[in-house]
Structure 1
Amino acid sequence: MFPDLTRDDVFRIETRRLWLRWPTARDAEAVLRLAGDPAVAGMTARIPTPLPPHEAEGFVIRARATNASGAGLVTAITRRASPASLIGIVSIEDRPEAPEPHLGYWLGRPFWGEGLMREAADAIIDAYFAYAGGRALASAAMVANPASRRVLEACGFRCTGEAAPVFAARGGAVPSHSFRLDRETWLGRRAEAAESVAAGGLR
């Protein structure tokens, strides 16, 4: 899915406040601490609570294998001022049950409320459409997680329906909204952003 550019562990994406880089072994402790927080894990489909240490270590190993193969792009979210310190994860990966690549993410609770997740999601979405030539992305947000829905809508995703998929990590069916972003919508948003910047420069 992703080109050679992203398959080297020196690859990173820089935004105004963040670096998105490959996860490394030293990130496992932060994954355990932040993703293991029930307030974070409980809003995800796959993170168990409690989160065993070996699961955090295994996540890093699997993420690096996914990136190296080009099958997806799993990135550690870090602040530019502290690139060694993971604060969350944002990824685009294929899922067996879905026809289109899936955008997934979580952010440690101490970093909520600053708009960081939207900034990180926007950056990896741009990488997917620009570098991988992607046609569309899917994502989802639990009905009980309006903050996640706001992130997706701010990034241009449109709600396509509601269902109650079974999440083993959550112990059963969880009401969720599904979302989709296609290339045409992404291109339109990019053009609008460029026009806005150009208009601002003319004032």
Structure 2
Amino acid sequence: MAANPWDPVQPTAAALLIERCLGAGVLSQDDLKQTWKETPCFTQVEDLQKIYALKAEINKSLELEMLTLEKETADISHSFFLNQKCDTLQTINSHLEAVLREKRSLRQRLAKPLCQEHLPIEASYHQFVSELLPLAVKFIEKLEVYIETIHTIPQIPECRKNMDNALVRLEAFEADLEKLTEQILTWREKQIKLLQEKVPEVS
């Protein structure tokens, strides 16, 4: 029967040999005691036993470290995760192959405008979409005008100031025009009177 490698007090090879000799009757306990007293060579057996126990502890620590490392790297080394990644890559590869097969039709579809052709809308909303779509088209047509209007919003205070100045000038021009009109009318009346005074003299 194999000895337990994790047992810190497992018998060494020398201890097993002595045990077999005692069992076979080749040695006795008295012989062992006498030998121990005369030649303490068996003190090395205890040292060897400590060394074997230390080796067993080191092996146990190494195995625990190996298990920890295997757990940490399971996502890149374990066959289960590798199979999942292979399946994902195979799916992506199949999709890319399908894209390459349909490359020509995809180019044609990309080159062709899709406006008002494919609208995945539920049937209950078709009526609202049919009413909204013309409004959206009109809005898109005037979108540039709306954008320009929005861009001019920060300039409104300056434009308003310019309009006020222009209005003041216009009022001044209007006053000048009224004065000029009065002068023209006055001059015209004078000219008419002069003409009327000259006409009787001629007659």
Structure number with greater CO (CA < 8 Å, separation at least 6) is 1
Shared fold (TM-score, shorter chain, > 0.5): no
| More helix, by proportion | 2
- Look at both structures and tell me which one has the larger radius of gyration over its CA atoms: 2
| More strand, by proportion | 1
Query: TM-score range, shorter-chain basis?
Result: under 0.3
